[in-house]
Amino acid sequence: MRYLLIAGLMCAMAAPLAQARAIPDPAQKHAPGNEALQKPIAAAGYSTPVNYQLQCAGCHLSDGQGSRANDTPRMKDFVGNFLKVEGGREFLVRVPGMSQSALNDAQLADLLNWLMRKDGMAGKSTPEQYQPYTEAEVAAVRHEAMLNLPQTRAGLIARMREQGIAIEDGLSE
């Protein structure tokens, strides 16, 4: 019993040493060719489609199809419907993936406008009288926290149904 206790104590004392190896060495040099500091995404000057891939495609997939398994709604040919109901325009800016992205306000407005193109993600769901997002509009709404995303989204979906909009988001039944 005593040996078991001593062995357990030795393991417990050795654990911090094993974990310490996972902590980066502050004196470690950059890999050759990677000496420059990484630019923030907002300053990198990426195109809007690249910003979509970096900020949105991880959940909504590269083609906007979303994933029922991951509870991520489809944007392809659907996301424009949010602009057809009261509160939907602000909702798209305030969705945490948008509002908390690394993009600045102008880039976020560009991304939303890119999504709403008839030949883009929104496709057939883009309203006929679409008004592009502006940097000022995004800045005014972006920092208002959305406290309950599922409930807010469900309310907008209910308004869509009341207007007879087909719900093709990949999640609703």
Q: Say how many residues make up the chain.
A: 173
Quote the Cα angle for 14-15-16, to 5°.
Answer: 95
- Tens of pLDDT, residues 6-61: 877 676 666 555 555 566 677 877 777 777 777 788 888 889 999 999 888 888 98
Fold (CATH) for 46-162: Cytochrome Bc1 Complex; Chain D, domain 2 (1.10.760)
- Tens of pLDDT, residues 113-122: 999 998 989 9
Per the rule left: phi > 0, alpha: psi between -120 and 50, beta: everything else, 130 is: beta
CA-derived radius of gyration, the chain:
23
Amino acid making up residue 129: Q
Q: What is the DSSP letter of 95?
A: S
How do the domains of the chain map onto residue ranges? 46-162
- What's the pTM value of the predicted model, to 2 decimals? 0.76
